Chains A and B, each alone.
Chain A
């Protein structure tokens, strides 16, 4: 390309549109949640109490903190503090891993109790509870995949920062990964109360 074309606003604009598509992806699941909740209000509440709120609460804290470290990473790079940026990005990735480990233990415990899609014990709890857990596993699972994608993305950007390809002059990529990460956080902020808290 002879004309080096650079349009940071355009890149952010594109990212925002992409985030809309993610919101709509999850909104399909929230629609299912709303419809099923109105169909099985009591069973949903019974099922919700089977979830361990400590796991969920801890993960909420982890994700909120990771959003903070990510936002701080941007300020750091704007000020040209490369080392600080690297540390903050790595902490975000660390927190993402922590989230996944936590999730692993939570799910293992639930699966240990015979609660997983297709299990007979779950089926014995009746259609409402089954539906709650099926939806829960699918929504949280999809969110988990997004955590992995987001962390990988941040990992790539971290390498680019250390190589100096992302720097205080040109950091749209870091900003865009941060936007993505905030979205991952935001989805969880809706997920957590809907499944663990309000019922």
Chain B
């Protein structure tokens, strides 16, 4: 992270301690945000390599590059890394930390030291996860869902893997507590609830889910752990336990967790769309409250993952109905983004391209989710690669693309340098095409009946699997170009001023990179809304 000394360096140069210690002991929210960002991007790259390996194995029927056991371990580690180490912390921990205080006019979060602690918990979790792969009885092979009874009986290293997830949950809780408190307590003068940028609103809703749902996964994983160590047997029928209860407890967290994953992404999109359409966001309060509605309704639908595991018909009907209800606030968001675009003067800069493709991909994923939420269809689609396609559309096409959009939108702010737009557009196009080819093919072959988590398949599924694998290569090339371009951008890109996009939220009013404590001697006072573009113009390139 070196900077040319002649240039103004903001928080990069103003730290009380210099060198690496200045980073790993810093309580500055921007430095912690960048620490998170570095780790999260690394984890994404590792996870993506594993995903590509999975696709490579599925290129043709038969044993290609791996045996069944290796395949099981690979999709488990891919899932664990992508869920717990990449997507849950991705936008909240990296961009939330970088931006939340600045956007509400605060100098830091409420508990800066707890914030640093959360990063250390993340690192501890990451170390445990990596150790789980290379030690004990070999990498875990349960799938990221750790379903009993298999997870309590397999000889692979599940103990360390669940401890890792436990630790990461703790890190996520600490971030959540910090954000809720910060948003309640540290808004600057004039920053009423109605003036909060929507990114902050979604972080607020997310933080509540993190706080309220994560302990449930904590206790569930702890039970797996004691079951494996002491034979506590709480999920073992022979000892009076019940394996279905595991699934309930697991999904009571893990369904809300998908909203931990998607809500901050929606917040990013709500920031980007108005700026590049040069229009105020359509339906501010509908957007703000629909985030809370999603957080609330999302905690009542967990059992839609269990239609095939044994439940009364009544329960199936109720959970199916509630699942359809959650789609409403998500649809409100989609319609409002589209209405914001209507008659706007749209600029197709790289962040906007990712934002627009987010809407498209998330809509496909969301509609697929309705197909799965309908119990009758789900009995057919359950545990097929349709499901895998569906959640990649929502999580990767949704949150993943929002994360890329955020990288393209905010990195020039924090590094005061701009990447190459032409290359960024090329990378985007490859990612978008590769993504759709890969996962559309997976959804299609899933509808034909190809099961998920299988390393081999019947010959009739051959053509579509081949298409999906070829798509994954296009995707991979796009990702490489994107990361290289961004890296070159933050290192050697053309210097830019404090407001290259013409944004109206507070972060665009402070210098780039923002100084330590964000604002000068005076606390900021806010007088206009976050999407009020009157008189705001982008810096000349």
Contacts and interface: CB of A to CB of B under 8 A. Distances in A.
Interface of A: 1-3, 5, 7, 9-11, 13-14, 17-18, 20-22, 24-29, 31-32, 35-36, 39-40, 43, 117-118, 123, 126-132, 134-135, 137-138, 142
B181 A10 contact: yes
Contact of A14 (B110, B219, B245): B110
Given A10-B110, A138-B223, A21 B517 contact: no
Contacts of B346: none
A131 B234 contact: yes
Most interface-central of A21, A25, A27, A130 (chain B CB within 10 A): A21
Given A20-B212, A118-B230, A35 B245 contact: yes
Identify which of A3, A9, A14, A118 gathers the most chain B CB atoms within 10 Å of its CB: A14
12 contacts: A13-B184, A14-B180, A17-B176, A17-B180, A21-B177, A21-B215, A117-B226, A117-B230, A117-B233, A131-B233, A138-B226, A138-B234
A27 B177 CA distance: 19
A42 to B, nearest CB: 12
Nearest to B173: A21
B240 A14 contact: no
Given A14-B111, A14-B177, A134-B234, A35 B242 contact: yes
A13 B180 CA distance: 9
Rank and list the top 8 A-B pairs by shortest CB-CB distance, nearest first.
A131-B240, A127-B240, A118-B231, A28-B219, A25-B215, A10-B185, A24-B215, A14-B181
B181 to A, nearest CB: 4
B469 interface: no
B214 interface: yes
Interface of B: 27, 107-108, 110-111, 114, 173, 176-178, 180-181, 184-186, 211-216, 218-220, 222-223, 226, 230-234, 237-242, 245, 249, 517
B211 A31 contact: no
B57 to A, nearest CB: 37
A17 B110 contact: no
Given A118-B230, A118-B231, A21 B214 contact: yes
B212 A130 contact: no
A126 to B, nearest CB: 8
Nearest to A18: B177
B245 A32 contact: yes
A137 B517 CA distance: 48
Contacts of B176: 17
Contacts of A130: 233, 239-240
A5 B107 contact: yes
B517 A2 contact: yes
A3 B232 contact: no
A13 to B, nearest CB: 5
Contacts of B222: 142
Contacts of A13: 181, 184-185
B147 to A, nearest CB: 17
Contacts of A9: 185
Given A14-B114, A22-B215, 16 more contacts: A10-B186, A14-B177, A17-B176, A21-B173, A21-B211, A21-B212, A21-B215, A28-B215, A31-B245, A35-B245, A39-B240, A117-B226, A127-B237, A130-B233, A138-B223, A142-B222
Nearest to A9: B185
B168 to A, nearest CB: 15
A131 B241 contact: yes
